[in-house]
Amino acid sequence: MVIRSAAQSLLVVVGAFVSGAVVLLLTGHNPLLVYLELIERTLLRRSGIEESLVAMSPVLLAAIAAWIASRVGMWNIGIDGQIVAGAVAAGAIAPHLGAWPVWLMWLACAVAGVIAGALWALIPAMLRVRRGVNEIVTTIMMTYVAYSSASWLIKGALKDDEMVAPATRIVDVARRLPELPSTRIHIGVLVAVVACLTVWILSRWTAIGMLSRVAGEAPRAAHRIGVPVDRYVVTAFVASGGVAALAGVNEVIAVRGSVQADWRPPYGLAAFGVLFLARRQVAGLIPAALLLGMLEYGATVLPRSTGVAPNFFPLLEGLILVFLAIVNWRRIVPRGRSLARSEGAT
Amino acid sequence: MKLIRLFRSGLIVGVLLSTAWMPWFAMDDVSAKTEVDKVAIVTPASRSNQGWDQQGVDTLVAIGKDRDIEVEVVENAGNDPITPVLRDLADDDVDLVFCHASGYQSECPEFAQSEGVPVVVIENPDAVLDGLVADIETQAQKVAYLAGVMAAAETKTGKVAIVVSGEPPTWNYMTAGFAQGVHDTNPDVELIYSVIGEAAYDDSPNAKRVTETVIAAGADIVFGMGDGASFGMIQAIREHNAESEDEQAVRFIDVIGDKSDSEAGEFLMTSVLFDYTGAYTTMIDDLEAGTFGSVYTMNLENEGVRLLEPPIEIDPATMEQVEKARQGILDGTITVPTISDAEELETFLDDLAGDQE
Amino acid sequence: MNVIETLLASAMLAAAPLMLAAIGEAIGQRSGQLNLGVEGVMLLGAFTGFVVVEAGGTVSAGLVAAMIIGMVVGAGFGLATTLLSANQIVLGLGVALAGEGATGYLFRERFGLSQPLLDAGMSRPLHHFAGIPVVGPALFDQRWFVYLAWALVVGIGAWMRYGRPGLILRAAGESPFATEAAGVDVQRVRVIAAIVGQGLVGLGGGALSLVEVGFFTPGMTVGIGFIAIAIAMVGQQRPLRIAGLAIVFGLLRGSGTAIQLTNVDVQTEFLELLPYAGVLVLVVLMGRQVRLPRALGLAYDRESRNA
């Protein structure tokens, strides 16, 4: 079972890479060289492995967020907006907590960020549950509202006066999340992995974890047996937003130390790639996220060594999504969404 | 259970991988050099914008050729964290990195301190660190003043527009200088100031829209600061000129680069050119001499900034006025405001407009 | 032309690509398909049109090329979702991402060292009447394509609402099984809807680069594609509503500049918020009124006989 799913995912990735190779050929590059360079730089170099792991962290968190939402049959397309919300919240309070012990500051930032992300997801969730508004549209709009609001705040109230490009006041390197000794892997990466494990445990061994699946796949049946579907949906969506926000918090307390006004996190769509590459199994999220983390890192260094324009990598990710969509997922998409049931039931 | 098996195998693989890392721990070493063989420049957009990114890259490449130094160019690095790129360059034994964007203001100094590779940042004098971080400042306001003189002398409608794609200090210095130049030359000329967006350096469609609006408001000379967005401004002017009489033609004053060979050449009055040659050369020299770690300011006096020779016909009387102004600045009879903060700028512009009443 | 006139005129111009994309997406949605890849298809259309004109073709040729590429993607989307039961949401997202990546990549590879600008070349047939104050330029000083866009939107919209094909489309979107039982090949309807719909989206993209802006830059759609999806949903697939929403949106985007010129102290970032917040508010207000086809986004599998 696991082997077959893994094989199918592998096939998808291969398919995407082959299509990408065609594009490379058409523009005069040697795909073999490019791909070998990609593998060499991301897997066969110590710095590459480290950077790929670091790049994996936000993608993994975003994927977990997408997974939680999909568990109850919802599509959280607004992950990037929630990430920004989390980052802004953390970036807003971090500079004021200079006197606090470091770990407390981190905790505070995390809490603030999660709340911000959760709130950001709450609006589309409530709109969906109360007024039946499709969450796809609302989450996308919320993302753009997040971008503009973030710019407005960062350029205004939160601006670091000593910096030229508008950004929140920077968190000193000494106060950021520590790295694993002798590596560049910051603890945020571990946090992401731990989050993944936590979600796995919750989904298998708690009532809400298991029932949420029923709520997602057969909402009417669930309702009939007394599961508070709406409440589960909102809770899950809000949790999804909170988890996504952690990626933003990491940006502030680990990666860059601040949020810049024009930051547009590119993780929202990749999250779905990871989600479906992993066949919506929590265990598969980590390796799939690592793959996409490698691609993200590759996009920063390959243009210089191969001359390939950086846009090639989003193209590759998009192709992965396309191939994922095409491979028959009838068993993966919650059955509640297929027509047969909804036509038959009243 | 299958998952337990999966976890077990995962654990084994993980342990194996981590042991494979051990020998590599020892391989990290950064050797210090004083001879500069290889430099790099990181830019947010690409050379194709014929402005900011191009000036930096082309200048460095030219210097590299001259002094037999290898130059690594990383374009289109965008606004995402560039630390991976910087580390990659460090792995490749680069001796000096030019971080050519204000958006890299925090990452580059941090990188320099943690990896020991010297960097050059822009507009960040506080980050300067002996031997590790140097800074380039651009004080273009005096040359912008001259551009303002030219604009005020040449405008037929009495309205001159300033269109910017953001309000970083580099743009603000020029806006203030230009405005003062216009005002001193002809206080009756009306200045229209418009910001496209908060960091709209590549937002051409909006730049086009904004420019169309200022043209509609009557401006016949546009002083545009935009990087990639400048093309939107240029396109707006092109379209307007194609559909109007010659006397109603709008002209453009550019910044940083030299677009005379492009479609803009037909209506390009001049440009406030940024020439990085002096700055970059000094930086490299400093590094080789061991005195790296200072602030280099590009301005009128050292010709780091200068006016481009007008590609189109300009009234000789105007050019004389410009020259006179230039002398005035050099000998101190003319003072040009030095304003880098956006709020101060707004106040300054309001005051100037108030003067007109 | 004064400032207000320019504002209105540029709003009308900005609305053209948007409403074409919106009505195209609406056609697809009517038949039960939700294509989130509009952003990518628009970019593909914009890029294709640009390449054709840059190579020497006429603007009309460029627009047709843009439409064709949209149709090709639409065909792919339609076939994948019907024959292969592909997941529409994931496929759409993939198209959006791949489209943006592909166009950015190809653009940089081909035009890496320069930024070509296209010659402004479209006539303004009703220019004569543009003298009317305030609304004159907005209504009469537009290039002919804007009028064509209006004609298409209104025409197609009316056809969808009142014509027989429109009814079939709607039936396929609401109750595909019943429609199939009534003798209609629902899969074929969906594929055709996708082709026509995305063709219009591609055309909208072509309009963006060829008519509105005059050149191509990577990622130039900046979220317009998603706005089009929202407009399609909120507009209830009704042509006038869609056009109206598109114009309002164009106005909101242009208003930023106009407000600056009047020296009112509002931050540009806040104004950038308005269009998106506006759509949100609309969606909330119209909440229960927004009736989407019951089968929207769901995989229609002919084989699966339930009930």
Domains of chain A in sequence order: 2-329 (1.10.3470)
Of C7, C120, C268, the CB nearest to B239: C120
pLDDT over threshold 60, residue C290: no
What is the pLDDT averaged over residues B83-108?
A: 89
DSSP at C142:
S
What is the pLDDT averaged over residues A293-298?
A: 91
C101 to A313: CB separation less than 8 angstroms, yes or no = yes
| Confidence tier at A331 by pLDDT (50, 70, 90) | very low
A47 to B88: CB separation less than 8 angstroms, yes or no = yes
What is the pLDDT averaged over residues A78-106?
A: 90
CB count in 10 Å sphere of residue C218? 21
Q: What is the mean pLDDT of chain B?
A: 85
Task: List, as one string, the DSSP characters of B196-254.
Answer: --SB-TT-HHHHHHHHHHHHHTT-SEEEEE-GGGHHHHHHHHHHHHHTS-GGG--EEEE
Degrees, nearest 5: CA angle B29-B31-B32:
145
Name the closest residue on chain A to residue C88, using Cα atoms. A325
Residue B108 token pair: 């580059």
Q: Which residues of A touch B109 (CB under 8 A)?
A: none
The CA R_g of chain C, rounded to the nearest whole Å, is: 20
pLDDT over threshold 90, residue B150: yes
Domain B38-138+277-298, CATH number (from 2.60.40.10, 2.170.150.20, 2.102.10.10, 3.40.50.2300): 3.40.50.2300
A165 to B168: CB separation less than 8 angstroms, yes or no = yes
Of B79, B101, B123, the CB nearest to A263: B79
Question: Contact, B124 vs A161, CB < 8 A?
Answer: no
- Give the whole-angstrom CA distance, residue A4 versus residue C181: 37
Task: List, as one string, the DSSP characters of A231-294.
Answer: HHHHHHHHHHHHHHHHHHHHIIIIISSS-BTT-----HHHHHHHHHHTTT-HHHHHHHHHHHHH
Q: What is the mean pLDDT of chain A?
A: 86
Quick one: pLDDT at residue B16?
53
User: How many CA atoms lie within 13 Å of C131's alpha carbon, on the beta-carbon side?
Assistant: 2
Residue whose C-alpha is closest to residue C93's, from A62, B280, A196: A62
Identify the residue with better confidence: B29 or A5. Answer: A5
Interface B-C, measured as beta-carbon pairs within 8 A, has a size of 93
Name the closest residue on chain A to residue C290, using Cα atoms. A133
CB count in 10 Å sphere of residue A196? 21
B199 to A165: CB separation less than 8 angstroms, yes or no = yes
Q: List, as ranges, residues 216-275 from A with C-beta within 8 Å of B.
A: 255-258, 260-264, 266
Which of A71-85, A143-157, C244-258 has maximum average pLDDT?
Answer: A71-85
pLDDT over threshold 90, residue B209: no
The CA distance from C4 to the nearest CA of chain B, in Å, is: 9
Alpha-carbon distance values, C132 to A59, B45, B338, C125 (Å):
55, 43, 46, 15
Quick one: pLDDT at residue C77?
94
Determine what percent of chain A is predicted with pLDDT higher than 70: 94
Q: What is the mean pLDDT of chain C?
A: 82
Bridge-based pairing state of the strands B119-122 and B96-99 = parallel
Q: Exposed, middle or buried, A202 (CB in 10 Å: 0-12/13-18/19+)? A: middle
- Give the whole-angstrom CA distance, residue C49 versus residue A172: 49
Residue B310 CB partners (closer than 8 Å, separation 6+) = B268, B269, B270, B319
Confirm or reject contact between B91 and chain A (CB < 8 A). yes
pLDDT over threshold 60, residue A332: no
E strand or H helix at B164: strand B159-164
What is the pLDDT averaged over residues B209-224?
A: 90
Residue whose C-alpha is closest to residue B169's, from B150, B202, B144: B144
| Confidence tier at B325 by pLDDT (50, 70, 90) | very high
- Give the whole-angstrom CA distance, residue B159 versus residue A72: 60
pLDDT over threshold 60, residue B145: yes
What is the pLDDT averaged over residues A96-119?
A: 91
What is the pLDDT averaged over residues A47-53?
A: 88
Quick one: pLDDT at residue C154?
86
What is the pLDDT averaged over residues A70-89?
A: 92
Q: Exposed, middle or buried, C158 (CB in 10 Å: 0-12/13-18/19+)? A: middle
What is the pLDDT averaged over residues A246-270?
A: 88
Q: How many angstroms separate the first and last alpha carbons of chain B? A: 84
| Lowest-confidence pick of A73-77, A161-165, A195-199, C154-158 | A161-165
Q: Which residues of B touch C114 (CB under 8 A)?
A: 48, 50, 262
Residue B244 CB partners (closer than 8 Å, separation 6+) = none
Residue whose C-alpha is closest to residue A81's, from A196, A240, A190, A191: A240
| Lowest-confidence pick of A318-327, B233-242, C137-146 | C137-146
Confirm or reject contact between C269 and chain B (CB < 8 A). yes
Residue whose C-alpha is closest to residue B59's, from B142, B123, B145, B120: B120
Confirm or reject contact between A174 and chain C (CB < 8 A). no
C93 to A127: CB separation less than 8 angstroms, yes or no = no
- Give the whole-angstrom CA distance, residue B71 versus residue B56: 12
Q: Exposed, middle or buried, A5 (CB in 10 Å: 0-12/13-18/19+)? A: middle
Interface A-C, measured as beta-carbon pairs within 8 A, has a size of 189
Q: Which amino acid is at A67?
A: W
pLDDT over threshold 90, residue C5: no
The CA distance from C60 to the nearest CA of chain A, in Å, is: 27
Q: Which amino acid is at C256?
A: G
Quick one: pLDDT at residue A319?
94
B235 to C214: CB separation less than 8 angstroms, yes or no = yes
pLDDT over threshold 70, residue B33: no
Please say whether the dihedral angle defined by the alpha carbons of residues C190, C196, C200 and C203, taken in this order, is positive or negative. positive
3-state secondary structure at position B307: strand
CB count in 10 Å sphere of residue B27? 7
Please say whether the dihedral angle defined by the alpha carbons of residues B19, B20, B26 and B32, taken in this order, is positive or negative. negative
Ordered by start, the domain boundaries in chain B are 38-138+277-298, 141-273+306-355
| Confidence tier at A346 by pLDDT (50, 70, 90) | very low
Question: Contact, B317 vs B153, CB < 8 A?
Answer: yes
Q: How many angstroms separate the first and last alpha carbons of chain C? A: 64
Its CATH architecture, for the domain B141-273+306-355, is 3-Layer(aba) Sandwich (3.40)
For A164-211, how does the pLDDT look when each residue is reduced to its tens digit (9 = 90+)? 777 888 888 888 888 887 778 888 898 999 999 999 998 888 888 888
Quick one: pLDDT at residue B23?
41
Residue A230 CB partners (closer than 8 Å, separation 6+) = A129
Quick one: pLDDT at residue B22?
43
What pTM did the predictor assign? 0.86
pLDDT over threshold 90, residue C302: no
Of C114, C213, C257, the CB nearest to B48: C114
Residue C11 CB partners (closer than 8 Å, separation 6+) = C138, C247, C250, C251, C253, C254
> From the DSSP assignment, how many helices (H) and strands (E) are in chain C?
12, 0
Determine what percent of chain B is predicted with pLDDT higher than 90: 38
Q: Exposed, middle or buried, C56 (CB in 10 Å: 0-12/13-18/19+)? A: exposed
Quick one: pLDDT at residue A337?
44
Q: b/e per residue, B215-253, with b = 16+ CB within 10 A? A: bbbbbbbbbbbbbbbbbbbbbbbbbbbeeeeeeeebbbb
| Confidence tier at A341 by pLDDT (50, 70, 90) | very low
The CA distance from A274 to the nearest CA of chain C, in Å, is: 11
Residue whose C-alpha is closest to residue B240's, from C141, C16, C259, C61: C141
For C43-99, how does the pLDDT look when each residue is reduced to its tens digit (9 = 90+)? 999 999 999 998 888 888 999 999 999 999 999 999 998 888 888 888 999 999 999
Quick one: pLDDT at residue B144?
93
Question: Contact, B49 vs B228, CB < 8 A?
Answer: yes
Identify the residue with better confidence: B182 or B196. Answer: B182
Residue C223 token pair: 């979220």
| Confidence tier at A340 by pLDDT (50, 70, 90) | very low
E strand or H helix at A188: helix A187-205
3-state secondary structure at position C182: coil
C115 to B243: CB separation less than 8 angstroms, yes or no = no
The CA distance from B339 to the nearest CA of chain A, in Å, is: 13
Looking up tokens 């918090």, which residue turns up? A249
Q: Which amino acid is at B64?
A: G
- Give the whole-angstrom CA distance, residue C67 versus residue C204: 8
C298 to A342: CB separation less than 8 angstroms, yes or no = yes
- Give the whole-angstrom CA distance, residue B233 versus residue B239: 10
Q: Exposed, middle or buried, A197 (CB in 10 Å: 0-12/13-18/19+)? A: middle
Question: Contact, A17 vs A329, CB < 8 A?
Answer: no
What is the pLDDT averaged over residues B166-173?
A: 84
Of A182, A283, A300, the CB nearest to B6: A283
| Lowest-confidence pick of A282-286, B38-42, C171-175 | C171-175
Task: List, as one string, the DSSP characters of C13-29.
Answer: HHHHHHHHHHHHHHHHH
B209 to C113: CB separation less than 8 angstroms, yes or no = no
| Confidence tier at C306 by pLDDT (50, 70, 90) | very low
Residue B117 CB partners (closer than 8 Å, separation 6+) = B30, B86, B89, B90, B94, B95, B96, B97, B111
The CA distance from C129 to the nearest CA of chain A, in Å, is: 38
| Confidence tier at A345 by pLDDT (50, 70, 90) | very low
Name the closest residue on chain A to residue B104, using Cα atoms. A165
Structural domains in chain C plus CATH codes: 3-111+139-289 (1.10.3470)
